[in-house]
A and B are shown apart, each in its own frame.
Chain A
Amino acid sequence: MDMKRHYYEDVRLFKTNTALALTVLFLAVLASLPFLVGDYALYVLNLIAIHSIVAIGLNILVGCTGQISLGHAGFFAIGAYSCVLLMVKAGLPFVIALPAAGLIAALFGFLLGLPSLRLEGPYLAIATLGFGMAVTQIIGHSDFTGGHMGIHAPRMSIAGVVADTGPRQYAVIMVVAVALGLCAVSLMKTRVGRAFVAVRDSEIAAEAMGINISWFKTLSFAVSAFYTGVAGALMAFALEHVSAGSFNLILSITFLAMIIVGGLGSVMGSILGAALLTYLQLKLQIIQEAPWIGPFLLEISKRYFTTEGLPNIQSIVFGAIMIAIVVFEPLGMHGIYLRCKRYWRMWPF
């Protein structure tokens, strides 16, 4: 079944015809959704797509290369601000500003990767965390970026066509997301991707095999930052407004939670995790409107807590999910998928 007789079978983008068929089906569903669902559902899908891009990028760094980053909100902010500023202040078209924003974020990722070469564990966590904090503070206090008020994002437009309706926005964002997702899958099958995994599994063994650890670690930071920067730029257009306050530590933790929940080192897991947590985030903010559980929670809030603090349940649920995943299913949703697959392959034995 899974026997590979040739090297090229191993590096193919789609391992089996079933995988290819499923992917095509998935893409067809994505393409037909704008004709089937309303604007709010498209907005939710946009957020999921954007968060998936971040999760895929972060997973390249955390899951594949084995580094820790608590500063991805910083790259997200850099991407969002540089894209909007390039369009508003420099007058660049969207098609150029979007990749440029990703490249600027990648440059910062490269720079942050340099001190990280010598750091690991908690030291790396605090360095990246400090980077994220510093970016938010600088952007929030600088007049050039609009200070605490933030700036208004213009509309996306490609070759004169302005993406002013829900389906058009969805089209742009989803095309970018799918393209970046496929890039990530193929990246992991190249020399670079394998080098990342080798660095994660054992730095010294990787070095002994002739992998330049410094180069690949910083490259991993840069690639990850590129993904996050592009996602940040798209987020600016989806929300039509960027402000420094939204790129906080909680956002970085949420990104990390997405890949932990989805599964480390897996593109599919990143997408699953991003989709689940984004959906939960939107639903938990209005939990008091949920049937059965909503009135019950309201009653508890009135008696023991405060009603205006009820949306904080989101943090509690996220935290509980993160802990539960690490304790019970360290591979995340991808791990559950793998176990199901293995079980059914040998069924009924």
Chain B
Amino acid sequence: MNLFFDLVIGGLSIGACYALVALAMVIIYKTSEVPNFAQGEMAMISTFVAFTLMSDYGVGFWAAAGITLLFALALGIVLEVAFLRPAKDPSILGLIVITLGAEMILYGLAGWKWGANQNPFPVPFSEYSGISPGGIMITEINLWTFVTSLVLMLLLFLFFRFTKLGVAMKAVQQNHFAAKAMGIPTRRVLSFTWGLSSVTGAVAGMLIAPISTLDPNMMLDPMMKGFAGAVLGGMTSLPGAALGGYLLGLVENFFGGYVSLEFKSVVAFGVIVLILCVKPSGLFVRHFERKV
């Protein structure tokens, strides 16, 4: 029974990271219908910035994290303005190719700047000690990951519900032209969407780095799992994507714990393909057939 709870906690912890990546993807997809394949590399670069601040400039963890979030915001906005905005009326394939191109550029830059070495990412939380209610060990880092993700999700929810900018973002996503007619600066809103998504991704990156290692390939796997989680929940639903991320983390961890550790990553994609066969738009979104 202990194994079961350990797997639940591990699954929820890694699921929280997937959920954050999924949320970052969905924030962009909802407003601009761009599946952002550069999400993982954006988060990876941000995490490297935090690492460099801490190791080379001796900045404390919290200050470094704060600066990193600002950097992530700028990075997202810059990417949108530099790469997405110049494309005139691109197809879905074109958009995917642009984000893939951005991914390659960021990946190359990180590899050039920091090399392929695996760096440890220091955090003020322990990986080994923590609280243990009822004999089940919850390490500090698991706890922090989980709490941070929940807080961030709550903040996002409040942001979209109660701030003017959040409501404007929802308006842009529902009807671009009507939003423009109402005086919303849609292009600026879109740029900010990218910034917000990038910040969410950066938080995910800083949570993932301590449990894996910090290298340019770090976000490859979490990015795809996060994307898969988003697809699982439905690319247009924020709570759906978050739930999808948690679900994927749990499924993967249970499979790894009970069946086979080696094929842990494979099962996640197997599940995705199966679920998409039954529900082509994900679990929590109604499927619309395209009309002529």
Contact = CB atoms under 8 A, between A and B. Distances in A.
Interface of A: 62, 68, 115, 118-119, 121-123, 125-127, 129-131, 133-134, 137-138, 141, 202, 204-205, 249-250, 253, 256-257, 260, 264, 301, 304-306, 308-310, 312-323, 325-327, 330
Contacts of A305: 112-113
Interface in B87-145: 87-88, 90, 92-94, 96-98, 100-116
A319 B102 contact: yes
B166 interface: no
Interface of B: 29, 35, 83, 86-88, 90, 92-94, 96-98, 100-116, 220, 224, 227-228, 231, 235, 262-263, 265-266, 268-270, 272-273, 276-277, 280-282, 292
A306 B114 contact: yes
A260 B87 CA distance: 15
A325 B235 CA distance: 27
Main secondary structure of the interface of B (DSSP, over half): helix
Given A127-B272, A322-B101, A315 B107 contact: yes
A80 to B, nearest CB: 19
A62 B100 CA distance: 16
B111 A309 contact: yes
Contact of A68 (B96, B106, B268): B96
Contacts of B102: 319, 323
Contact of A318 (B98, B104, B116, B270): B104
Tell which of A121, A249, A317 has the most Cβ of chain B within 10 Å: A121
Contacts of B110: 312
A137 B292 contact: no
B105 A122 contact: no
Contacts of B116: 308-309
21 contacts: A115-B276, A122-B92, A123-B231, A123-B282, A125-B96, A126-B231, A127-B272, A130-B268, A137-B265, A256-B100, A305-B113, A312-B112, A315-B104, A316-B109, A322-B97, A322-B100, A323-B97, A326-B90, A326-B97, A327-B83, A327-B87
A253 B104 contact: yes
Contacts of A249: 220, 224
Contacts of A250: 104
A299 to B, nearest CB: 14
B105 A130 contact: no
Main secondary structure of the interface of A (DSSP, over half): helix
Contacts of A308: 115-116
B115 A130 contact: no
A326 B92 contact: no
A95 B115 CA distance: 43
Nearest to B89: A330
Contacts of A141: 262-263
Contact of B263 (A138, A318, A319): A138
Contact of A323 (B98, B115, B280): B98
A348 B270 CA distance: 59
B93 A130 contact: no
Contact of A122 (B108, B109, B115, B231): B231
A126 B248 CA distance: 14
B99 to A, nearest CB: 9
A347 B101 CA distance: 37
Contacts of A315: 104-105, 107-108, 111
Nearest to B231: A126
A126 B272 contact: yes
Nearest to B92: A121
A311 to B, nearest CB: 8
Contacts of A131: 269, 273
Nearest to B36: A122
Q: Which 6 A-B pairs have CB atoms at the shortest separation, nearest pair first?
A: A130-B269, A315-B108, A319-B104, A312-B111, A322-B101, A122-B35
B231 A326 contact: no
A319 B101 contact: yes
B115 A306 contact: yes
A257 B99 CA distance: 12
A204 B113 contact: no
Contacts of A62: 93
Nearest to B280: A118
Contacts of B220: 249
Tell which of B107, B110, B282 has the most Cβ of chain A within 10 Å: B107
A253 B86 CA distance: 22
B280 A309 contact: no
Contact of B103 (A202, A313, A319, A325): A319
Tell which of B90, B101, B231 has the most Cβ of chain A within 10 Å: B101
A131 B272 CA distance: 10
Contact of B280 (A119, A134, A260): A119
A122 B29 contact: yes
A315 B44 CA distance: 16
A143 to B, nearest CB: 11
A138 B231 CA distance: 23
B272 A130 contact: yes
Contacts of A202: 292
B112 A301 contact: yes
Nearest to A315: B108
Given A315-B107, A327-B83, 19 more contacts: A118-B277, A119-B276, A123-B231, A123-B276, A123-B281, A123-B282, A134-B270, A253-B103, A304-B113, A305-B113, A309-B116, A312-B110, A313-B112, A316-B112, A319-B100, A322-B100, A323-B105, A326-B87, A330-B90
A146 B83 CA distance: 42
A127 B272 CA distance: 7
Given A126-B231, A126-B272, A141-B262, A256 B97 contact: yes
